Every structure is written in structure tokens, then in C-alpha cells.
Amino acid sequence: MTCVWITRSEPGATRLERALTEAGFESINAPVLTTEIVKELAPRKEFDVTVFVSEHAVKHAIERKWSSVGPVVAVGQRTAEALRSIGLEPVQAAQASSEGILELFEQQYPHAGSVLIVAGADGRADLAKWLNDKGVRVCTWITYRRILLKPVVDVGACDVIVASSAEALSRIAELCFAHANFIGGQLSVLVPSSRVAEVAASFGFKNIVNSNGADPRSVVATLKDRLL
């Protein structure tokens, strides 16, 4: 039976573990990341559009007593679901990435004058840069930071590693290459995008598969289609 190492943080790790079990895969749920709140006050100004980059951003914004004003955009299905759970109906980009959000803004919010981006520390700055270049006033509200963990994992027992982000890959590579006789082509690394695939290759991994999404459905479908 194919054994899959789940490295993403909760609550996504448990959701993926459940989906893998239902699909007949063995899994090791050992996240290499977690998050903690950043005690930065919510901006007092109003913005034409607010963008949430992850469900963690939603969770920690609510903890900081954020309230909605104007249209809300979600990056990814789980982010959209987190916003709906608090009574909001977000606009969701077709592609859960900075590129997808850029395309959405070009189509639906070409005249937005101000945008609030709710994100984690050390996130990508592509969207903010693009909007600034367009003359949009951008405020990035950091609501959480990622913390690297160091789980004890028998890498030799794994056939596939699911790496949900570039940040996670740094710790994954450290843990893998610390094992004696480990080589980059020893197992497959499943990534959610071409950008993360490039990061995986830079760390020395050889068998890299792009699932074009980090949600359980995309991961399970790719495992069945490409790795069985």
C-alpha cells in the first residue's frame, strides 16, 4: 500500500488524512508547520476590496475582531468556506494562487482604489506589488506567522510526500536529507503548483508531481492518476 506523508498544518492535515484513508491510502500525519497569531491591530480604514489569502488568515482575523466592509475575495476553496462560515459570501478566483487573484482583479475590480490583503508573515508579495504598480493603495494586514516543526518521521517508510508550500519544503528537505543514504529520487513529492515544484527541484528532489491544487480532492485524484 502506498504510504503518504502529510506535512501541511491543521486543520488541513486531518482533512487530507481522512480523504486518503477513504481512498485506500496509508498516511503519516506529521505536519512540518503550524501557525500562531500575530497581535497586530486591524486597520481602521475602509477599503474597496479585502483579500484573504488562506483560511488561517480568516481564523486569525476573526480573533482580532475584524469586521467586513465591501467585497471580500478568497484565495482557495477552504478560504472561501471559512468566510462563508462567518456569514460572508466571498468572490473566489478560478485559480487558487496570486496569479488567479491578479486575473480576478483585472476582470472584476479594475477600478479598485484601495485593497486590504490579509495574510501571514513572509507571504508572497506578488499581488501587493502588482496592485501598487497599478496605482492602487495597498495595506497588508499580517494576522499570523508560520512556525516550523520538526516531527519524527521514518522517511524510508514513505512513498509520497505531500508538500503544500515552499515554506514546508525547507523543513521537509532538511528531514529527508538528514537520513543516511537518502537521495532525491527515492520518493515522489506532490506539490500544489509549478512555483512550489521549482522550489522542490532546487532542494534536490527528482520525482516531482504537480497536483494543481492543495485540496484533498486534487491530491487524491493526482495520486490515483499519476502515482499508482
98 lies in the same domain as 9:
no
85 lies in the same domain as 141:
yes
Mean pLDDT of 25-40: 92
Q: What is the pLDDT of residue 228?
A: 64
Q: Is the pLDDT of residue 26 over 70?
A: yes
Rg of the chain (C-alpha set): 18
Nearest to 169 by CA among 5, 36, 17: 5
197-228 pLDDT, tens per residue?
999 999 999 999 999 888 899 999 999 998 76
Enter the C-alpha cell of residue 201. Answer: 527541484
The DSSP call for residue 76 is S
Please tell me the total count of domains within the chain. 2
The range of the structural domain enclosing residue 210 comes to 3-32+151-226
pTM higher than 0.75 for the full model?
Answer: yes
92 lies in the same domain as 117:
yes
User: Which amino acid type is present at position 166?
Assistant: A
Last residue of a domain, one of 146, 161, 188: 146
Mean pLDDT of 93-108: 76
CATH, residue 22: 3.40.50.10090
Q: Is the pLDDT of residue 180 over 60?
A: no
59-75 pLDDT, tens per residue?
888 887 787 778 999 88
Q: Which of 90-104, 109-123, 209-223 has the lowest mean pLDDT?
A: 90-104
| CA 213 to centroid of chain Cα atoms | 9
pLDDT band at 94 (very low <50, low <70, confident <90, very high): low
Please give the order of strands across the beta sheet that includes 33-37. 33-37, 137-148, 114-120, 49-52, 72-74, 91-92
61 lies in the same domain as 87:
yes
128 lies in the same domain as 209:
no
58 lies in the same domain as 45:
yes
